[in-house]
């Protein structure tokens, strides 16, 4: 029977609780947001004693369902001041699910400055996990690339790790929660929203899980589950974007670089322009060329066991040794076009440093671009960008400023052009040129976040999209529909990239619902996915309003309303009333 593990870091006590009936069908984002909504007062200090950090695997995570190794981490965000769910793929949530943990709730506040490792090991004799707390002194103040091999040496090669780095220890608002990839690297992140600082504020440095000997996740109806699993696999293997040898598999997420650049929606030099002259040099095609010509490296690398899309990568140095894993589309944009840098080697080094410190690459790239806007570096100066990152790693006064994200840095440096919403920097799609994603940036409870309602596919006319990206018509409805669907997908434990297949291939969507029914014993149809998503969004919105946010925070930066974006020479002109209508109909 599933349990909730509640941990109080004040005295490092813990208890296993039965799962309330109201939580039984919740997983992933649906569960983290519900627990935060139910248990955290919206006005608390995010880094104080009354915030709570919640980890929850998805509904089908830990089963044989493909691409389902996703973890949701949730809390009140120190970056946005509102609710936050940050999602990542790794073996860690699969371990939690296999050990029967519906969620981990971390609460309380340490009485000293010590950090701890929580070791969660399956006790076969007892038929439940055993919890131990061990000092983390040896790992404090060090880079994660040095620390992770030592953790595996201490606990064994097959454990999984969730943790916070130096950025979290310093309470940087741009600090993430790191997980190991399938090869043990500290490269998978619940990166957005500053949740690494929340974890560190609890005195919790790492959670190490060892599921060896644990049973399989129980299925309420194995036949229905298997039928659904096969439908989804068939859809993923037939869709041109997700199939083996498809765009994501061969070129990674950076397959989008040239596509979005050609569409004029690739933010360049801190969102001054929509096209980058050096885009080809930082694209997925160039990454594949690096792998082929330099030797070493790999395209088509999975972020967690059981993924058949395999959109990750390992990028080699010129001599064939490893530079970094992974350079995502968002990362190559953030440190690349957004900073005017067209060198994958520089982008790779900046990515490695960000991973090592325990930070989000989107926010960090955005912050360096704001620093360039302020004159601390010239756009395109990769050497100086690395020097700024070194300041962040050293924790100098300038480094601490930059470690707290683009919004805070912009205020301190007197920069007007700060492309953020609710304190969170925008990702790699220009909202003036792709207006539906702009609506998502503005209205999502999570702050500027493309994954909250990914309208790019229907808005990308060059690849068969049906909605003119420059038009204001219908964008509120489009964003709402995608935000509702996303809240459900984030709750299943599936990777968001299944959306390409399940929204185009109805049988794939049916398969996801059957998987959930097979695990839960429910009778959900595809209509229930929308209902589920709406309920999650309602709770997230209610929390944010309780925290002091309002419709006035559902807006893009003012400069986007009057600065025309080349090459289309357009502004973001969706009326405020239209933005308010996204959730006004709920």
CA gap 300, 203 in Å, rounded:
37
Residue 107 pairs with which residues in a beta bridge?
8
The total number of structural domains in the chain stands at 3
Q: Is the pLDDT of residue 461 over 80?
A: no
Burial of 230 (0-12, 13-18, 19+ CB in 10 A): middle
- Exposed e or buried b per residue across 530-546, where buried means at least 16 C-beta atoms within 10 angstroms of its C-beta: eebbbbbbbbbbebbee
Residue 481: give its domain's CATH number: 1.10.599.10
pLDDT digits (tens, 9 = 90+) for 19-47: 999 999 999 999 999 999 999 999 999 99
Q: Is the pLDDT of residue 585 over 80?
A: no
Do the domain assignments include residue 271?
yes
Question: Is residue 466 very low, low, confident or very high in pLDDT (cuts 50, 70, 90)?
Answer: confident
Show Cβ contacts of residue 484 under 8 Å, excluding neighbours closer than 6 positions.
529, 530, 533, 534, 537
Residue carrying the six token digits 């992770």:
148
Do the domain assignments include residue 222?
no
**What is the pLDDT, as a whole number, of residue 367?**
98
**What is the pLDDT, as a whole number, of residue 464?**
57
pLDDT digits (tens, 9 = 90+) for 94-123: 999 999 999 999 999 998 989 999 999 999
Same domain assignment for residues 8 and 75: yes
Residue 196: give its domain's CATH number: 3.60.9.10
Same domain assignment for residues 345 and 326: yes
**What is the pLDDT, as a whole number, of residue 467?**
86
pLDDT digits (tens, 9 = 90+) for 511-538: 999 999 999 999 999 999 999 999 999 9
CA gap 223, 510 in Å, rounded:
14
Same domain assignment for residues 38 and 167: yes
**What is the pLDDT, as a whole number, of residue 457?**
85
Average pLDDT on 446-456 reads: 96
Do the domain assignments include residue 227?
no
* Residue at which a domain ends, from 377, 397, 422: 422
Same domain assignment for residues 62 and 136: yes
Do the domain assignments include residue 234?
no
Considering only residues 503 and 334, tell me which one the structure prediction assigns the higher pLDDT.
334
DSSP state string for 284-322: HHHHHHHHHHH-S-EEEE-SSTT-SS--EEEEE-TTSSE
Q: Is the pLDDT of residue 352 over 70?
A: yes
Pair of tokens at residue 241 = 């974007």
CA gap 581, 479 in Å, rounded:
11
* Residue at which a domain ends, from 422, 455, 472: 422
Same domain assignment for residues 197 and 93: yes
Mean of pLDDT over the chain = 97
Pair of tokens at residue 67 = 């691409």
CA gap 514, 130 in Å, rounded:
33
Same domain assignment for residues 436 and 376: no
**What is the pLDDT, as a whole number, of residue 87?**
97
Same domain assignment for residues 263 and 399: yes
DSSP state string for 99-140: TTEEEEEEE---SSS--EEEEEEEETTTTEEEEEEEE-GGGT
pLDDT digits (tens, 9 = 90+) for 395-448: 999 999 999 999 999 999 999 999 999 999 999 999 999 999 999 999 999 999
**What is the pLDDT, as a whole number, of residue 534?**
98
Question: Is residue 1 very low, low, confident or very high in pLDDT (cuts 50, 70, 90)?
Answer: confident
Do the domain assignments include residue 79?
yes
* Residue at which a domain ends, from 422, 451, 475: 422
Question: Is residue 462 very low, low, confident or very high in pLDDT (cuts 50, 70, 90)?
Answer: low
**What is the pLDDT, as a whole number, of residue 321?**
98
- CB atoms under 10 Å from CB of 493, counted, come to 32
Say which range, 459-463, 469-473, 506-510, has the weakest mean pLDDT. 459-463
Question: Is residue 332 very low, low, confident or very high in pLDDT (cuts 50, 70, 90)?
Answer: very high
**What is the pLDDT, as a whole number, of residue 200?**
98
Do the domain assignments include residue 221?
no
Do the domain assignments include residue 235?
no
Same domain assignment for residues 343 and 371: yes
Average pLDDT on 325-347 reads: 98
Do the domain assignments include residue 513?
no
**What is the pLDDT, as a whole number, of residue 242?**
96
Whether this model's pTM surpasses 0.95: yes
**What is the pLDDT, as a whole number, of residue 486?**
98
Same domain assignment for residues 75 and 149: yes
Q: Is the pLDDT of residue 572 over 60?
A: yes
CA gap 165, 580 in Å, rounded:
38
In this structure, are residues 549 and 422 in contact, taking their beta carbons and an 8 Å threshold? yes
* CA-only gyration radius of the chain, Å: 22
**What is the 3-state secondary structure of 155-169?**
HCCCCEEEECCHHHH
Q: Is the pLDDT of residue 586 over 70?
A: no
How far apart are the two ends of the chain, measured CA to CA in Å? 35
Residue 407 structural domain: 248-422
239 backbone dihedrals φ, ψ, rounded to 5°: -75, 135
Same domain assignment for residues 304 and 204: no
Burial of 4 (0-12, 13-18, 19+ CB in 10 A): buried
Same domain assignment for residues 204 and 95: yes
Residue 339: give its domain's CATH number: 1.10.569.10
217 secondary structure, DSSP code: P
- CB atoms under 10 Å from CB of 106, counted, come to 25
Same domain assignment for residues 345 and 446: no
């Amino acid at each position: 029977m599933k349990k909730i593990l509640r941990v109080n870091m004040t005295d490092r006590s813990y208890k296993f609780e039965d799962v309330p009936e109201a939580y039984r069908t919740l997983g992933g984002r649906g569960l983290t947001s519900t627990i935060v909504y139910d248990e955290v007062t919206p006005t608390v200090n995010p880094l104080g004693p009354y915030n709570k950090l919640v980890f929850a695997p998805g509904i089908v995570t830990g089963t044989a369902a493909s691409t389902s190794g996703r973890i949701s981490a949730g809390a009140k965000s120190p970056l946005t001041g509102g609710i936050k769910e940050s999602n990542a793929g790794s073996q860690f949530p699969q371990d939690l699910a296999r050990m029967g943990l519906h969620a981990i709730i971390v609460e309380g506040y340490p009485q000293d400055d010590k950090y701890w490792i929580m070791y969660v090991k399956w006790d076969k004799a007892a038929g439940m996990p055993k919890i131990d707390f061990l000092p983390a002194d040896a790992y404090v103040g060090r880079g994660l690339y040095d620390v992770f091999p030592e953790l595996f040496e201490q606990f064994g090669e097959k454990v999984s790790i969730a943790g916070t780095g130096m950025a979290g220890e310093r309470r940087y608002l741009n600090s993430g929660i790191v997980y190991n990839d399938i090869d043990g690297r500290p490269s998978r992140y619940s990166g957005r929203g500053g949740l690494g600082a929340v974890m560190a504020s609890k005195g919790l440095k790492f959670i190490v899980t060892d599921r060896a000997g644990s049973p399989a996740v129980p299925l309420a109806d194995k036949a229905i589950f298997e039928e659904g699993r096969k439908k989804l696999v068939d859809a993923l293997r037939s869709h041109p974007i997700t199939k083996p040898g498809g765009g994501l598999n061969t070129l990674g997420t950076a397959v989008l670089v040239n596509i979005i650049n050609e569409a004029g929606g690739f933010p360049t030099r801190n969102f001054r322009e929509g096209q980058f002259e050096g885009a080809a040099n930082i694209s997925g095609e160039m990454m594949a060329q690096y792998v082929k010509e330099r030797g070493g490296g790999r395209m088509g690398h999975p972020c967690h066991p059981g993924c058949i899309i395999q959109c990750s990568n390992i990028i080699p140095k010129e001599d064939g040794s490893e530079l970094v894993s992974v350079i995502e589309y968002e990362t190559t944009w953030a440190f690349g076009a957004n900073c005017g840098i067209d060198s994958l080697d520089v982008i790779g080094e900046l990515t490695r440093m960000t991973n090592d410190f325990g930070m989000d690459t989107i926010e960090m790239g955005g912050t360096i671009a704001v620093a360039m806007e302020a004159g601390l570096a010239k756009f395109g100066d990769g050497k100086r960008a690395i020097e700024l990152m070194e300041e962040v790693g050293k924790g100098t006064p300038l480094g601490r400023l930059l470690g707290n994200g683009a919004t805070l840095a912009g205020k301190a440096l007197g920069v007007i052009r700060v492309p953020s919403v609710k304190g969170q920097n925008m990702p790699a799609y220009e909202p003036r040129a792709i207006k539906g994603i702009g609506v998502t940036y503005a209205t999502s409870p999570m702050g500027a976040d493309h994954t909250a309602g990914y309208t790019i596919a229907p808005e990308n006319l060059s690849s068969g999209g049906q909605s003119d990206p420059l038009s204001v018509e219908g964008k509120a409805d489009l964003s709402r529909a995608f935000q509702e669907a996303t809240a459900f997908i984030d709750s299943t434990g599936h990777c968001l990239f299944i959306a390409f297949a399940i929204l185009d291939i109805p049988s794939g969507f049916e398969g996801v619902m059957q998987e959930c029914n097979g695990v839960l014993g429910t009778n959900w149809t595809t209509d229930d996915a929308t209902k589920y998503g709406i309920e999650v969004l309602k709770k997230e919105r209610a929390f944010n309003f309780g925290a002091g946010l309002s419709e006035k925070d559902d807006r893009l930066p003012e400069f986007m309303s009057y600065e025309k974006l080349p090459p289309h020479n357009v502004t973001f002109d969706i009326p405020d009333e239209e933005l308010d209508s996204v959730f006004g109909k709920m």
